[in-house]
Structure 1
Amino acid sequence: MSAPPAVQIREANAHLAALHGRVAELERRLGAAERTVRGQAESLIRKDGELRAALRELGAAKDREITALQQKLLSSEETIQKLLNVIQKKDDLIVQLKYRSHLLTKICRNRPILDNLLSYMAEGEQLSTFPGTQSDSSSPVHDEFQESNCIPNQISKNKDFSLSEDDLEDQELDTSQFGTTV
């Protein structure tokens, strides 16, 4: 075999030197790119860690806020229940007071009759305070008994007043419903 010509060897050496320079340049660029990628990866890892820590902190803050809101909700529900109980008691009291007001209105309507009855009772008590007095057939009391067809010691069946429909209904009321005496 024959040796390659010197020109070819020089060209081959020049080509190898250029190739070697190109490889060195590519290795340098590759190293720089590798360092850049590593730096970016480390930065991303750092940012990811910071983001995870921030998310954990945010999650914990959110959990605390949810717990606080749940406690406020429970407290509000208890307050609402207490207020509903107070309202129910007040409503019951209003119903009772309306009924008593109705009774007082009826009493006030019948007051003239009650005043007359009390004055007659007072007059009757004054007559009974004199011992030994007997009723005289010519006395005004005897005349009133005769006019009203009353016999002493007997209840008259005649009434000097008429009962309204409300009074007739009230006679049927159970006496246990009255809370006070008049």
Structure 2
Amino acid sequence: MSSPSPVQIREANAHLAALHRRVADLEQKLEAAEKTVREQAESLIRKDEQLRAATQEITENKDREISYLHEKLCQSEESIQKLQHMVKEKDSLIGQLQHRCQLLDNICKSRPLLDSMLAQMAEAERMGPIIDLCKPIADTSLTDGESNCSPSGLSNHKDFSLSEDDVDDQELDGVVFGTTV
């Protein structure tokens, strides 16, 4: 075999040198790329840790707020229950007071009648005891059991009166005639 010519050797050496430079250049680029990847990985790890910490903090804040809101909700529900109980009591009291108010309205509407009745009762008290008008008469000629106690007998009696005017008339009758029944 023949040996390569010096030109071929120079071309091969130049080609090898270019290949070496290319490999060295690629190795530098690879190292730079690996360094960038490592830096990015470290940066991602740091960001991941920061995000985890932030997520943990947000979760803790959320849990605290949920707990606080749950307590407020329970307190509000208790307050609502108390207020509803108070409303029921007040409604019951209002119902009782409305009934009493209605009774008082009815009493006020009936007051003139009550005043008249009280005046008549006072007049009846002033008249004193009734003499024995209700005793049956010894006469046995009454066949149907009538007595002087019949309503017609009382309405004609001068001591029985339903108004103050009748009392005044009765006193005048006694004075004018000088007799009392």
Q: TM-score, normalised by structure 2?
A: 0.69
Gaps of 5+ in 2: 134-153, 164-181
Q: Residues 87-115 of structure 1, C-alpha deviation per residue, up to 9 Å, x if partnerless?
A: 11111111111111111111111112211
Higher relative contact order (CA 8 A, sep 6+): 2
Q: Residues 48-99 of structure 1, C-alpha deviation per residue, up to 9 Å, x if partnerless?
A: 1100110110011011111111111111111111111111111111111111
Partner of 2:58: 58
SS in structure 1 opposite 2:159? helix
Gaps of 5+ in 1: 146-182
Partner of 1:110: 110
Partner of 2:40: 40
Moved more, 52-61 or 92-101: 92-101
* 2:90 corresponds to 1:72: no
1:13-162 alignment to 2 at 5 Å? Answer: 13-128=13-128, 141-142=159-160, 144=162
Moved more, 97-106 or 40-49: 97-106
How many residues were matched structurally? Answer: 142
SS in structure 2 opposite 1:4? coil
Change (3 A) 1:93 1:135: same
Change (3 A) 1:90 1:16: same
Partner of 1:178: none
CA distance in 1: counterparts of 2:90 and 2:103, whole angstroms: 20
Q: Which AA in structure 1 matches 2:41?
A: A
Larger Rg: 2
CA distance in 1: counterparts of 2:159 and 2:127, whole angstroms: 10
Q: Residues 8-33 of structure 1, C-alpha deviation per residue, up to 9 Å, x if partnerless?
A: 11211111111111111111111111
SS in structure 1 opposite 2:160? helix
Q: Residues 123-146 of structure 1, C-alpha deviation per residue, up to 9 Å, x if partnerless?
A: 333444x9xx9589998533559x
Identity of aligned residues (%): 55
SS in structure 1 opposite 2:2? coil
Q: Which AA in structure 1 matches 2:83?
A: L
Give 1:120 deviation, angstroms.
Answer: 2.6
